């Protein structure tokens, strides 16, 4: 497909959500269409879409550059006989920010409740059942102790990385040591439920585990979660209707030039594949200050989500993977986390956690191999499972070394806000939960003072 490059100028601020790079191609003699906007938003995921709606409501002209043909980022909603089943983002914190946003978009919501409380604990290596002590009273008591312990880290209580100059040693120690130091072993099951995306959780730095299940997440758990009645995809469908032509779909960035006068973004609009680039920022006119920070962020973990149907698994039960040979029975990467019943008979959602090198075929083998072993062990009357839907969420986390954190990496990263007409939000700057990202984005937009 040919070039349809677009030049946006002048841009008085660039809300920089995600970097992209296109394949090398000549743009000579291409037709250039000029678009003038107040703000260019890179990426129409959770934060980009939210910022676009808020800025448009404030009377600003926005231009959202989106790589796909739809908004939403990590969402995934499958409609089975008209019933929505979310296999990406499933719920949102029940806060004023969420409810106000849903009301703005005219999205009906309801409490997010588990479709089933019946769990089977299975060793996916053998396909056999595993004993598990999940006493609800003990878990609740452990969760209260966990909450009291993590509440002392006030700089991350809103999901951000506002760390003191001397970062507490506890935040950088392996999470397993943190658990042992404060005798929080009873909280591991509930922590694992929310922080499984940390991969080998007990070995991960405590900071990154708390970014997946820390004080704001505990507060949200006590308040309860909400979901969109017509599925998470409905949120972004309604947002797309509001934003209209302000979203430039199927587009990739060729070049960004920033100055005190504004920002010029040259785009290629096409339907060919994109390549996400988080290390070198090719195509962006980054300076030495930015160059010293961005390459340090590594794609740490990814999640693949799947639907399996007609598997022979108990239709109204959840299947939870445990490894009795490992500490706390937590499986090691790559692993299948859960097969969850979502209220539609015959279907289970699946999450697979691995590093960025885990291929789609390897992930699917983890699923099908585990299910086959359940059948071979006589645990369940397995049939011929079908994989019905697929989604890959990468990166799930972006991390830096303990040395970089001690050296003030996040302090310096946050200090980039406003540098060269560029402002930032997204998972590198805040915990990757929609409501926390929206709250963080609100603060960034206030700082832009448009």
What tens digit of pLDDT does each residue of 84-139 get?
888 888 899 999 999 999 999 999 999 998 888 899 999 999 999 999 876 555 77
* Whether the bond into 323 is cis, omega within 30 of 0: no
- Coil, strand or helix: which one is 175? helix
> Mean per-residue pLDDT for 273-291?
58
Burial of 432 (0-12, 13-18, 19+ CB in 10 A): buried
The tens digit of pLDDT for each residue in 168-219 reads: 999 999 999 999 999 999 999 999 999 998 889 999 999 999 999 999 999 9
The per-residue pLDDT for 280 is: 38
CA-CA-CA-CA torsion sign (81, 225, 111, 322): positive
Pairing of strands 422-424, 13-16: parallel
Q: Tell whether the model's pLDDT for residue 16 goes beyond 70.
A: no
CB 420 within 8 A of CB 291: no
The tens digit of pLDDT for each residue in 293-349 reads: 876 676 566 677 777 888 889 988 999 999 999 999 999 999 999 999 988 888 888
Q: Can you tell me the distance from the alpha carbon of 353 to that of 274, in angstroms, rounded to the nearest whole number?
A: 23
Q: Can you tell me the distance from the alpha carbon of 221 to that of 66, in angstroms, rounded to the nearest whole number?
A: 32
Structural domains of the chain ordered from first start: 6-74+231-296+400-448 (3.50.50.60), 113-223+298-399 (1.10.405.20)
> Mean per-residue pLDDT for 26-55?
80
Q: Tell whether the model's pLDDT for residue 282 goes beyond 60.
A: no
The H or E element spanning position 142 is helix 136-150
Q: Can you tell me the distance from the alpha carbon of 80 to that of 347, in angstroms, rounded to the nearest whole number?
A: 9
When mean pLDDT is compared over 2-11, 74-83, 315-324, the highest value belongs to 315-324
CB 184 within 8 A of CB 142: yes
The per-residue pLDDT for 240 is: 97
The overall average pLDDT reported for the chain is 84
CB 67 within 8 A of CB 42: no
Which of 30-34, 239-243, 317-321 is the least confident region? Answer: 30-34
Output b/e per residue, 395-420; b: 16+ Cβ within 10 A.
bbbbbbebebbeeebbeebeebbeeb
Nearest to 207 by CA among 257, 169, 235: 169
Residue ranges of the alpha helices (H) in 212-262? Answer: 215-223, 232-243
* Whether the bond into 10 is cis, omega within 30 of 0: yes
CB 53 within 8 A of CB 17: no
Task: Quote the crossing angle between the two packed helices 232-243 and 96-105, to the nearest 10°.
Answer: 60
């Amino acid at each position: 497909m040919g070039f349809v490059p677009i030049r946006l100028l002048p841009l008085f601020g660039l809300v920089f959500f995600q970097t992209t790079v296109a394949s090398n191609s000549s743009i000579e003699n291409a037709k250039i269409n000029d678009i003038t906007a107040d703000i260019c938003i890179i990426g129409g995921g959770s934060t980009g879409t939210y910022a676009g709606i808020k800025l448009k409501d404030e009377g600003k002209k926005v231009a959202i550059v989106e790589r796909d043909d739809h908004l939403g980022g990590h969402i995934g909603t499958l409609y089975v006989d008209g019933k929505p089943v979310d296999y990406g983002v499933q719920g949102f914190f029940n806060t004023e920010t969420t409810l106000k946003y849903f009301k703005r978009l005219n999205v009906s919501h309801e409490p997010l409740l588990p479709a089933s409380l019946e769990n089977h604990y299975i060793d996916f290596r053998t396909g056999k059942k595993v004993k598990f002590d999940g006493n609800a009273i003990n878990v609740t008591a452990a969760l209260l102790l966990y909450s009291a312990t993590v509440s002392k880290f006030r700089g991350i209580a809103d999901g951000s990385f506002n760390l003191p100059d001397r970062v507490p040693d506890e935040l950088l120690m392996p999470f397993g040591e943190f658990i042992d130091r404060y005798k929080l072993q009873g909280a591991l099951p509930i922590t694992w439920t929310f922080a499984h995306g940390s991969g080998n959780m007990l070995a991960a730095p405590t900071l990154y585990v708390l970014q997946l299940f820390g004080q704001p997440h505990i507060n949200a758990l006590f308040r309860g979660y909400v979901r969109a009645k017509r599925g998470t995809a409905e949120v972004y469908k309604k947002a797309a209707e509001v934003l209209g032509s302000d979203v430039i779909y199927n587009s990739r960035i060729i070049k960004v030039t920033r100055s005190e006068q504004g920002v010029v973004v040259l785009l290629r609009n096409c339907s060919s594949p994109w390549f996400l680039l988080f290390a070198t920022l090719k195509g962006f006119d980054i300076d030495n200050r930015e160059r010293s920070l961005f390459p340090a962020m590594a794609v740490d973990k990814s999640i693949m989500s799947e639907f399996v149907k007609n598997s022979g698994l108990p239709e109204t039960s959840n299947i939870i993977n445990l490894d009795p040979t490992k500490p706390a029975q937590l499986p090691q990467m790559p692993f299948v986390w859960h097969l969850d019943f979502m209220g539609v008979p015959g279907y289970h959602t699946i999450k697979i956690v691995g590093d960025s090198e885990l291929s789609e075929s390897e992930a699917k083998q983890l699923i099908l191999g585990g299910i086959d072993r359940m059948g071979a062990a006589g645990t369940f009357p397995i049939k011929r499972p079908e994989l019905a839907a697929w989604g890959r969420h990468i990166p799930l986390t972006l991390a830096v070394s303990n040395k970089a954190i001690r050296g003030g990496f996040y302090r310096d990263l946050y200090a980039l806000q406003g540098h060269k007409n560029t402002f930032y939000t997204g998972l590198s700057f805040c915990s990757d939960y929609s409501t926390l990202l929206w709250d963080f984005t609100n603060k960034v937009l206030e700082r832009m003072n448009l």
